[in-house]
Structure 1
Amino acid sequence: MAKGKQDEAWEFFGELLKDRRETAGFSQGDLGARVFVSGGYIGLFEQGIRRPQLDVAQRIDEALQTGGIFERTVRKLINKSPYASYFHEVAELEAVATRICEFAPVVVPGLMQTPEYARAVTVATHPFATEEFIEEKVISRIDRGAILKDATRPEYWVVLHENALGIPVGGPAVMAATLDHIVALIRERWVLVTVIPRAVGAHSVMEGPLRLMEFKDQPPTAYTETAFTGTLLDDPAVVKQAQRAYDLLRVATLSPEASLTLIESAAEDYRRCASTT
């Protein structure tokens, strides 16, 4: 993928960080200890591979006594992102992930949404937003989905709860088209989707969406989300716990074949409903 202005800006951030760190006489490990991340993460920041959260940038300013330059830079870059402040790093990481494992309890994951579905979700969560705002959010979400068809696409595993098939986001016609889109992705072997039936009842992840990401040259991460915010987790013990929860989810799902049949059946039901309205 060609580098964009955001990538170049983060690379500049990393170069500046390395310069200020060396001027202060700190090793990567020294600085990491002062801002509560590993020295390896400082190295990833300096290479422009990882983007520090705002609170980490604030601690870097304090440790290096830089007068807030790193906080201001991070705020500026976050504000230029089309994503929510808590999601912009996740969107950057998914573009370089080698494997993404996702659990969607209510809404079809963004990487598999159609423009009409994405629009319905965005309007529902931003009912007073301008048309320009809505369009920007929809475009950025659909653009993210392009990684599934890229030559270097990640392995993409999705566990859908049956509830995500049953909520008619955007109406029957939109749902039919969205589920048809998911079926096409499955048949092209771009994704592997399994479904947790409602009859399973309680399961290992009850509080919202979960995403796990693995990379070639950096540690895995987990991402959780609520209605109003999200949290990117990279503590190895926490990520391992999230991976175990995801493994338990997969045990509870239907087989890939049975899941595909259920998705196709739901799409056909929506199609019939749309034709009678």
Structure 2
Amino acid sequence: MANGRGAGKFGQGRAGWRFFGSELKRWREAAGLTQQELALRVFCSGSYIGQFETGIRRPQPEVAQRIDEELKSDGFFGRMCDELINGSLNVHYFTESAYKKGLSEYFAEAAYLEGLAHAIREYAPVFVPGLLQTEAYARAVFLAGYPGLSDAEIESRVAARLERQGILEDPTKPLLWAVIDENTIRRKVGGASVMSEQLMHVARLARARRITLQVLPFEVAVPALSGSLKLMAFADAPVVAYSEAAHSGGLMDDPARVAALERAYDLTMATALPPAASLELVQSVAAGYASECGWTS
């Protein structure tokens, strides 16, 4: 059965990984194995197998090879994994449930995984991270970035961003560590009143120990990271990285590449201000914006 399919028929990107997952489920069930039973044989977790089957995650080649050995699939999953990884420069994982109205399509997969992560480390060089944005700040960001959208479309995007923040309702999970460039707190997004509200919101989360906050000061002339980065860690799956540029973004889970990004993030943390000094700076800048608006504490 496996030999009857040519590599070129596997497809690329989202459709290809969905097909990989559906075939994995079919072969596993034909072998009479549960997800957990197969997971034990290939040295991963049952939920990780479930993520393969739904197309949310892709296995590393060595895991695909072990799946072939256990399911006696004659190298089918190894060849398919190789084709999907090496046959496309931008392979993403996607399920229909991941897409939500108001989310950019390129971010839908990352938003889904964000909700599964038990720890998130983020570096923000331009804007306050989306998970920490106030409504007014988010609206100002979208109005600047998408001036051609209707008011309804802007509000849909703002609502989707605020909905993502539901993962912070738990007092301890996920662990969220945010390193933001000093440029982020100095840029007057939406005006002084919007910035004062935004920075005080970030400060409240830091004071409540809901997030760990660091500011990368201007004195660090050359940051170890040159763009935005989100590292998502899971209880039973490898770390996934997400990087974003103008109106585009991509997930990365190649172990060597993720390890390099983690090292760069660690260097960024090491050169940033300590959390206490970062909080003090954010509060000071927020107070400056409030004074500009004529507000008094």
Aligned residues of 1:78 and 1:85 also touching (Cα < 8 A): no
Aligned residue type for 2:273: L
Aligned pairs for 1:118-267 within 5 A: 118-150=138-170, 153-206=173-226, 208-267=227-286
SS of the residue 1:86 aligns to: helix
Deviation, 1:48, is 3.5
Which whole-Å CA distance do the structure 1 matches of 2:102 and 2:166 have between them?
16
Change (3 A) 1:259 1:17: same
Shift of residue 20, structure 1, vs aligned partner: 5.0
Q: TM-score, normalised by structure 1?
A: 0.76
Alignment gaps of 5+ in structure 1: 1-11, 28-38, 53-58, 64-73
How far apart are the structure 1 equivalents of 2:272 and 2:22? 47
3-state SS, counterpart of residue 106 of structure 1 = coil
Output the CA distance in 2 between the equivalents of 1:234 and 1:184: 33
How far, CA to CA, are the matches of 2:101 and 2:26 in structure 1? 25
Gap change, CA 1:80 and 1:183, over 3 Å in 2: closer
User: How far apart in 2 are the matches of 1:176 and 1:240?
Assistant: 36
Between the aligned partners of 1:78 and 1:181, the Cα distance in structure 2 is 28
CA offsets, 1:40-59, max 9 Å, x none?
A: 9993445538257xxxxxx9
- Count residues with an aligned counterpart: 237
Query: In structure 1, how many angstroms separate the alpha carbons of the residues matched to 2:254 and 2:19?
Result: 23
Contact kept? 1:103, 1:158, Cα under 8 Å: yes
What does residue 61 of structure 2 align with? Answer: none
Structure 1 pair 143/181, CA: closer, same or farther in 2 (3 Å)? same
Residues 254 and 15 of structure 1: is their aligned pair in 2 closer, same or farther, counting only changes over 3 Å?
closer
**Could you tell me which amino acid in structure 2 is paired with residue 267 of structure 1?**
A
Provide TM-score, normalisation by structure 2.
0.71
Letter in 1 for 2:112: E
Instruction: Give per-residue Cα distances to partners, 1:112-132, cap 9 Å, x unaligned.
Output: 000000000011111111111
Change (3 A) 1:80 1:138: closer
Secondary structure, counterpart of 1:198 in structure 2? coil
Residue 4 (structure 1) aligns with = none
Contact 1:13–1:46 (CA<8 Å) still a contact in 2? no
Give the percent of matched residue pairs that are identical in Structure 1 and Structure 2. Answer: 38
Q: SS at 1:129's partner residue?
A: coil
Aligned with 2:127: secondary structure?
coil
SS of the residue 1:242 aligns to: helix
* Distance in 2 (alpha carbons) for counterparts of 1:136 and 1:42: 32
User: Residues 76 and 160 of structure 1: is their aligned pair in 2 closer, same or farther, counting only changes over 3 Å?
Assistant: closer
Give SS of 1:101's match: strand
C-alpha change, 1:50 and 1:76, in structure 2 (3 Å) is: closer
Secondary structure at the counterpart of residue 122 of structure 2: strand
**Structure 1 position 14, deviation (Å):** 8.8
| Per-residue Cα deviation, 1:182-239 (whole angstroms, up to 9, x for no partner) | 0110011110001111111102102x10111100111111111111211100011111
Q: Which amino acid in 1 is paired with 2:232?
A: M
* Aligned match of 1:269: 288
In the alignment, is the contact (CA less than 8 A) between 1:14 and 1:45 conserved in 2?
no
Q: Aligned pair in 2 of structure 1 residues 138, 14: CA closer, same or farther (>3 Å)?
A: farther
Post-superposition CA distance 1:95-149 (Å, at most 9, x none)? 1111100000010000000000000001111111111111110011011112112
Contact 1:120 / 1:170 at 8 angstroms: preserved in 2? yes
Q: Which has the larger radius of gyration?
A: 2
